[in-house]
Amino acid sequence: MHAPARGIEIESLSTTLVGDIDLQELLALGDVQAGYQGIRIEMDIEAKNASNADLDDLLQFAQAHSPVCNTVCRPVPVVVERVKR
DSSP string, the chain: -HHHHTT-EEEEEEEEEEEEE-TTTTTT-SSS--SEEEEEEEEEEEEES--HHHHHHHHHHHHHH-HHHHHHHS-------PPP-
Query: Distance between CA 83 and CA 21 in Å, rounded?
Result: 29
Mean pLDDT across 45-52: 92
User: What pLDDT, on a 0 to 100 scale, did the predictor assign at position 28?
Assistant: 81
What share of the chain in percent tops pLDDT 90? 44
User: What pLDDT, on a 0 to 100 scale, did the predictor assign at position 8?
Assistant: 95
Please tell me the pTM assigned to this model: 0.68
What is the CATH number assigned to the segment(s) 2-65? 3.30.300.20
Domain regions of the chain by residue span? 2-65
